[in-house]
Amino acid sequence: MIDTRLLSGKDVSQAVYTTLDPRIQSLKQTGIVPSLAVILVGDDAPSKVYVKSKSRQFAKMGLKSETIPLPEATSEAGLISFIDKLNQDSSFHGILVQLPLPAQIRSEKVIRAISPEKDVDGFHPENLGLLTSGQPRFIPCTPKGILKIISHYKINPSGKHVVVLGRSNIVGRPMSILLSSKNENGNGTVTLCHSSTPDIKTFSRQADILIVALGVPKLITKTFVKKGAVIIDVGIHRIPNNSEKGYEIVGDVDRKSIEGKVSAITPVPGGVGPMTIAMLVENTVEAAEIQST
């Protein structure tokens, strides 16, 4: 049995906020308060919870975060027109459109409408292109948070086999680019698996570092991992049970199954989730710094 270390995103996020505070105070001394506009279309319950968490952290840091609710029936053209107004509004340094969007709105069109200089989510094609070329402006929040966790706990990907499960532009694809890039938190040999990979287990069992972002509760068990691996669990799901709350929060990894076999794992909750919010704060501060020069 291995003593499996928990990689606490809560602890790392607090360290991030501590380092951000002097940068925020420096901006405020020049009359600049880093500000984020969050657009929430419709009544998706998880989105509302997540947006509330973001707003709470911004307020705690003395930053401005304004949530703008729009009706479920909002048209694509109407949303893009609204985004254009925010692009021209210098009082907001960052713009975030909470996903998922209603069926009548194409998310890729909306993401393209956000000014790349205000795209603190890092999803705009221009920002993804800069990331790919090794000159990132804004790194997507979840991959950036994972890099911070790896760095904080002195886990070095260099020379390691990193396997990423999931190829979304939000997590998997940028994660594979970052960890294979030539930098202090990269230089890994990266395999990217997805829904058309014939036997994911064949690859996951080779991983020194396994990053799981598949969106399937408790899919990864001890048979998917090799002894001593580091596991980053990006998934988060609410599963009904018979507890007092009536549910439990779990990840894509069955943590109880693999503890004792792997060397380290991010918990769910309390792992990657807090880091995503911390990186949104950091990206908004960076946007304010860029726009103030």
Known catalytic residues are 54, 98, 121
**H or E element, residue 227:** none
- HSE-up of 46 (CA within 13 Å, CB side)? 7
Distance CA 47, CA 220 (A): 25
Distance CA 277, CA 48 (A): 14
Neighbouring CB atoms inside 10 A of 245's CB total 10
Distance CA 189, CA 2 (A): 25
CB contact at 8 A, 179 and 190? yes
Distance CA 57, CA 9 (A): 15
Distance CA 273, CA 293 (A): 31
CB-neighbour burial class of residue 195 (10 A; exposed 0-12, middle 13-18, buried 19+): exposed
